[in-house]
Amino acid sequence: MHSFDSSRRDFLVLSAAALATVPAHGAESLTRQATGVKVGELTATSARIWARRTKASSRRAGGVLPTPGNKPAVLPLGYDVGQLDGACAGDEGQLRVIVRDSKGKTLHKSDWAEAKAASDFTYQFAVSGLEPATAYKFTVEARGEKKVEGKEGTTMRTDGALHGAFRTAPPEDALTAIDIAMLSCQKYSERDSRERGFQIYDAIAKWAPHCLLSVGDNVYYDSDDPKVNSVAVARHHWHRMYSQPSIVDCLRKVPGYWLKDDHDCYSDDCWPGYVDEKMKPFTFEQGLGIFPEQAPLGALPYRRFKWGRSIEMFMLEGRDYRTGNKEPDGATKSLWGAQQKAWLLDGLNKSDAQWKLIVSPGPLVGPDRKNKHDNHSNDAFETEGREFRKWLAQNSRITDTVWVNGDRHWQYHSVDPETKVNEFCCGAATDSHASGTPGEDPTRHRFHRVKGGFLAIRVRVNGSKSELVLEHRDVLGNRVYGHTFA
């Protein structure tokens, strides 16, 4: 088995080789994949590759721009979102994925899959039978409906291909170094550059972690222009976000795991059955359906992934199963639902990983603002939050189980005064979107910064022991705070 340093070096070389054949972003090719690719749900032996066929090979530039000001426009029902700036209209046809090893040998070639309007012209390829801790390169090909004559008869015309690379997780018994980047709260109207998008993705791509965690508010249906009132407008939010050059380039070589929160599900602080009158006729249930269409996901929205013996990640779902925020707090009120909570407690009890990472869209410790009532760090779910913090203190070594979250637009490291549970928030994806903090709290905060950035989660190994290092980094990738658990 390769050491971390040698496997990382091999992967970086392979990534460069895989991407070298791709034209500079913005150059017109025939890929017909303007919204890029997403490699997700990575394990030691499998990956899920998301693809989408589009009419053009790049996003629309020079279309209808968002309205000025902070109040998002509501478009007339039936409005052609293809007229909007950043639009990426889909097109029926077929997609397939080819996975190769470092020597270029084809290991997996899928059948051609239909890209249909009902699924927004997307398809997710489940690739299995891979080797652990191994670098792979992949190609996603697209083709259209038009026929061409050849030696083998009439076939569909191939549009072109998009290339990328990823590395699988280590074997379950391996204790090895791991690098993970975590980000949240990427608002399109707050991006750093109209042309390139978000600086944070360029910083993550340069660092080249094993994977990234995108832990909610991937788009903002209710507060970015235009306000979502239909499935078409909701999909447009995803198209324009994930067709930005910085994101496309990053995700071709950094696989990820995606979680949703309120803004990329429906509306601020939402729950099942909630209705936002300004978003009608779009519904909460429609939002639930769009997320797994636009991000590579398995059967359940909550899941766990193990990266060897080094770390196990428990990824939580905070919207699908929650009790309504306005219901009285008490023993039966839950943000997770009984089934997910039982799954979490059982998994943490059984995990043999040296480090357990609880990955959540929202906070457990906080502190949060006094006017917020939708997470475990404030009064809406106070009973369940305190109950779980106490469970963690009683059933695990507090220093080997760490809570990490997004949703709050400031970076912080907090420690619960009562149970000593540690919480790290990655903050917003841009400096301009950082705001809203209740202020520094000396009873909880070990670090507090109202700027954008990401959380770098690192495991470092020394023989049979390891360290968990959590670093807050700014949007350019510079370290601004770090804490080590030994």
* pLDDT at position 57: 94
CATH number of domain containing 110? 2.60.40.380
Where are the extended beta strands (E) located within 42-197? Answer: 47-52, 93-100, 106-109, 113-115, 122-127, 135-150, 153-167, 178-183
Residue 106 lies in a domain: yes
* pLDDT at position 422: 96
Tokens 């306000």 locate to 227
* pLDDT at position 136: 97
Pull the structure tokens for residue 56: 């053009």
* pLDDT at position 67: 78
Which helix (H) or strand (E) is 389 found in, with range?
helix 382-395
Residue 66 lies in a domain: no
Pairwise CA distance, residues 247 & 256, whole Å: 12
Pairwise CA distance, residues 154 & 99, whole Å: 26
Residue 82 lies in a domain: no
Exposed, middle or buried, 60 (CB in 10 Å: 0-12/13-18/19+)? Answer: buried
| 393: phi then psi, degrees, rounded to nearest 5 | -65, -35
The answer to whether residues 19 and 162 belong to one domain is yes
User: Residues 170, 171, 177, 180: is their CA dihedral positive or negative?
Assistant: positive
Tokens 């999909």 locate to 235
Q: Which amino acid belongs to residue 187?
A: K
Residue 84 lies in a domain: no
Which helix (H) or strand (E) is 314 found in, with range?
strand 311-315
Spacing of C-alpha 259 from chain mean position: 6
Task: Tell me how far CA of residue 134 lies from CA of 102, 128, 438, in angstroms.
Answer: 9, 13, 45
**Cis peptide bond prior to 23, omega within 30° of 0:** no
Domain boundary among 167, 197, 224: 167
Domain limits at 328?
Answer: 178-485
First to last CA, the chain: 25
Pairwise CA distance, residues 378 & 385, whole Å: 9
Pairwise CA distance, residues 143 & 57, whole Å: 12
Residue 339 lies in a domain: yes
Contact 41, 296 (CB under 8 A): yes
Alpha helices in 80-187 (DSSP H): none
CA atoms within 13 A on the CB side of 360: 26
The answer to whether residues 137 and 243 belong to one domain is no
* pLDDT at position 65: 85
Closest C-alpha among 133, 121, 200 to residue 159: 121
User: Residues 33, 34, 35, 38: is their CA dihedral positive or negative?
Assistant: positive
* pLDDT at position 29: 58
Length of the chain in terms of residues written: 486
Mean pLDDT by 10 residues, the chain (486 residues): 46 50 46 96 97 96 81 93 96 97 94 97 97 97 73 68 96 96 97 96 98 98 97 98 98 98 98 97 98 95 96 98 96 97 96 96 96 93 97 82 97 97 98 95 97 98 95 98 96
Closest C-alpha among 108, 97, 96, 99 to residue 137: 99
Alpha helices in 94-188 (DSSP H): none
The answer to whether residues 104 and 211 belong to one domain is no
Residue 73 lies in a domain: no
The answer to whether residues 158 and 183 belong to one domain is no
CATH number of domain containing 267? 3.60.21.70
The answer to whether residues 157 and 184 belong to one domain is no
CA angle 471/429/275 to nearest 5° reads 125
* pLDDT at position 395: 86
Which helix (H) or strand (E) is 339 found in, with range?
helix 338-350
The answer to whether residues 95 and 195 belong to one domain is no
Closest C-alpha among 239, 221, 233 to residue 276: 221
Q: Which distant-in-sequence residues (6+ apart) come within 8 Å of 327 by Cβ?
A: 333
**Cis peptide bond prior to 363, omega within 30° of 0:** no
The answer to whether residues 287 and 156 belong to one domain is no
User: Residues 124, 126, 132, 137: is their CA dihedral positive or negative?
Assistant: negative
Contact 134, 168 (CB under 8 A): yes
Phi-psi region of 300 (alpha: psi -120 to 50; beta: other; left: phi over 0): beta
Pairwise CA distance, residues 136 & 439, whole Å: 45
Residue 74 lies in a domain: no
Exposed, middle or buried, 108 (CB in 10 Å: 0-12/13-18/19+)? Answer: middle
When divided into structural domains, the chain yields a total of 2
* pLDDT at position 25: 41
Helix axes 284-294, 231-242, angle to 10 degrees: 30
Domain boundary among 111, 138, 167: 167
The answer to whether residues 161 and 192 belong to one domain is no
The answer to whether residues 380 and 438 belong to one domain is yes
Task: Tell me how far CA of residue 209 lies from CA of 8, 9, 11, in angstroms.
Answer: 9, 12, 11
Residue 302 lies in a domain: yes
The answer to whether residues 184 and 285 belong to one domain is yes
Pull the structure tokens for residue 130: 């891979």
Domain boundary among 167, 194, 212: 167
* pLDDT at position 185: 98
Strand partners, 167: 135
The answer to whether residues 102 and 191 belong to one domain is no
The answer to whether residues 412 and 463 belong to one domain is yes
